[in-house]
Chain A
Amino acid sequence: MSEVAVVEESAGVPGGPIQAFTVTLIIRRFDPEVDAEPHWQDFDVEMYPTDRVLDALHKIKWEQDGSLTFRRSCAHGICGSDAMRINGRNRLACKTLIKDLDISQPIYVEAIKGLPLEKDLIVDMEPFFESYRAIQPFLIASDKPDKERIQSVAQRAVFDDTTKCILCAACTSSCPVFWTDGQYFGPAAIVNAHRFIFDSRDEGSQVRLDILNDKEGVWRCRTTFNCSEACPRGIEVTKAISEVKAAILRGNPGLPSSDLVLTPVGA
């Protein structure tokens, strides 16, 4: 494995001829129409260090085995289609560069965990979106302004982080609590609730705080940080969850801060 061959043509990336490697991918396959259980299958592909795992999957699908099934669309980390477990961690295949993996070893690829496996790398996303819908992820405001609502730069900044979510489910399906009990709302739903709870224009924060104060809500989070490490958008997920917890304890959204004792609120 990993024999090195200098290939004339570059991978299209500037910088002249670069080395291609043979990379072994071991993919957890499952075809509901024939398999009773998932199984692992090996594929060898020629890759450039600058290629992404998605390119490797495409190469397999297009050149070796057309039945390999996965979701993908944008190919640059903004649509959230291709969250999968790569070497044991949730990643977007299109944002995971081969050079960032240890290619002296095979690369393990499998579906994200905790959602029903449908086929190969595809899981049923419905339970995930179900939790998302449950937290009322939309602006609740009664006024009808003629122009835009006024919001200061600072007010806009406090919920900036959580507006970046692309609903890829990498976080929720990395959460140990979610694996064992899918009833937990999961980090993605909380992130999207956070986005509205701390939006100065929103009037529904209390409702959402109540929803998340539920048995399956924020209190189930055990601060394992898998979600924060998995998020391809770099959202500080656990921090957002902490801020929601603190808001519930305070009894009002206020400014997002989890400081209850150590620094004065809003400082």
Chain B
Amino acid sequence: MTTIDAPRTPHTPVTKNRRVNWEKWGWLYMRASGILLVVLIFGHLFVNLFLGTGVKQVDFAFVAGKWASPFWQVWDVLMLWLALIHGGNGMRTIINDYAHGRPRQVMLGLVFAAVAILIVLGTLTLVAFDPCPTGADPSLLPSFCPASSK
């Protein structure tokens, strides 16, 4: 509390390289994805937490049941991508605000890695999803599986 506010380096002139302007597109993306996410996330929350028995209904069978339908698959893939990139870009903004120099680079790298890995992992999970894995406990499978004991 008692330290002097840290001195600021003066503004460094604009780097004149004409790359794609990520700042502008990032800003727009936050808004566009935000609007879509409202629908996606609230739909998701509504179905999973509000309808039926809420969180208590969620289990493998429930998830598998949902993902059997391409509708929910697309829904969740979209949500995954939009949300992770949205969140990742948001984190980038925040890191840029508070961290400088090397720590900034490291943290940005971590966020980027986390987002990239999770997008890959999540997409694989969703796209190549098998609702009726062979050899699984039949009581856990959704009812439409041939092996289901429900």
Binding site for B on A (CB under 8 A): 30, 37-39, 111, 113-117, 124, 126-127, 130-131, 134, 177, 179-183, 185, 210-211, 213-217, 219-220, 245, 248-249
Contact A183:B12 (CB < 8 A) given known A37-B3, A113-B5, A116-B5 = yes
Contact A211:B14 (CB < 8 A) given known A177-B97, A181-B96 = yes
From A116, A126, A177, A219, name the one whose CB has the most chain B CB atoms within 10 angstroms: A219
Contact A183:B5 (CB < 8 A) given known A213-B23, A219-B24, A248-B24 = no
Contacts of A111 in B (CB 8 A): 5
A113 to B5, CA, bound (A): 7
Is the beta-carbon distance between B5 and A114 smaller than 8 angstroms? yes
A9 to B106, CA, bound (A): 66
Asked if B69 CB lies within 8 Å of chain A CBs, one says no
Contact A249:B7 (CB < 8 A) given known A38-B2, A181-B100, A183-B12 = no
Is the beta-carbon distance between A249 and B23 smaller than 8 angstroms? no
Is the beta-carbon distance between A249 and B28 smaller than 8 angstroms? yes
Contact A115:B8 (CB < 8 A) given known A37-B2, A37-B3 = yes
Is the beta-carbon distance between B24 and A127 smaller than 8 angstroms? no
A183 to chain B, nearest CB (A): 6
A87 to chain B, nearest CB (A): 17
A193 to chain B, nearest CB (A): 13
Asked if B9 CB lies within 8 Å of chain A CBs, one says yes
Chain B 1-35 near chain A by CB (<8 Å), digits 1 or 0: 01111011111111100000101101110000000
How many B residues are at the interface, by size bracket?
20 to 34
Is the beta-carbon distance between A131 and B11 smaller than 8 angstroms? yes
Contacts of A185 in B (CB 8 A): 11
Binding site for A on B (CB under 8 A): 2-5, 7-15, 21, 23-24, 26-28, 96-98, 100
A30 to B15, CA, bound (A): 36
A37 to B14, CA, bound (A): 34
With CB as the reference atom, state the residue of chain B lying closest to A110. Answer: B5
Contact A38:B4 (CB < 8 A) given known A180-B97, A214-B23, A219-B24 = yes
B90 to chain A, nearest CB (A): 11
Contacts of B2 in A (CB 8 A): 37-39
A210 to B16, CA, bound (A): 10
A131 to B10, CA, bound (A): 8
Is the beta-carbon distance between A183 and B11 smaller than 8 angstroms? yes
A181 to B97, CA, bound (A): 6
Is the beta-carbon distance between B11 and A30 smaller than 8 angstroms? no
A106 to chain B, nearest CB (A): 17
Contacts of A113 in B (CB 8 A): 5
Contacts of B100 in A (CB 8 A): 181
Contacts of B11 in A (CB 8 A): 127, 130-131, 134, 182-183, 185, 216
Please name 26 pairs of A and B residues whose Cβ atoms are closer than 8 Å in the assembled complex, sorted by A: A37-B4, A38-B4, A115-B5, A116-B7, A117-B5, A124-B7, A127-B8, A127-B9, A131-B11, A134-B11, A134-B14, A180-B98, A181-B96, A181-B97, A181-B98, A182-B8, A182-B11, A183-B12, A211-B14, A213-B23, A215-B23, A216-B14, A219-B26, A220-B23, A220-B97, A248-B24
